[in-house]
Amino acid sequence: MIVLIPLTLNAFPGTKFGIPFPVVLRSSFGILGSNVPCLVRALVGCGWFGIQTMFGGLAIHLLLSELVPAWAALGGIGEVIGFLCSAR
């Protein structure tokens, strides 16, 4: 609830008027004041992308390990290849 309420209030002008998040920030905090929230959002996005890509890479590795028994012998290298394939 601590995160849900501010996110819902933050999303309201964007969904009602069709304006993106940075524009809402600039109108609220000014050009310089919007830099910090945008950077925080970017860091969270990078972390989210990394976590989703890690799970996607593990899923590719596990799938290929079941289909091709030689793939399982790669171990950690197979996981890295799966990670790189899911990041595309």
What percentage of the chain reaches a pLDDT higher than 90? 27
Per-residue tokens: 26 = 């600039």
Q: Quote the strand ranges of 45-85, DSSP E.
A: none
Q: Could you state, in order of their start, the residue ranges of all structural domains in the chain?
A: 1-33, 35-88
Query: What is the rounded CA–CA span in Å between residue 11 and residue 16?
Result: 9
Give mean pLDDT, residues 16-45. 85
For residue 74, which of 56, 57, 86 has the smallest C-alpha distance? 57
DSSP state of 17: H
Give mean pLDDT, residues 58-75. 90
pTM of the shown model: 0.64
Query: If DSSP codes are grouped into helix, strand and coil, which group holds residue 41?
Result: helix
* pLDDT at residue 11 in the model: 79
Give mean pLDDT, residues 55-72. 91
The helix (run of H) or strand (run of E) holding residue 16 is helix 4-17
Give mean pLDDT, residues 26-39. 85
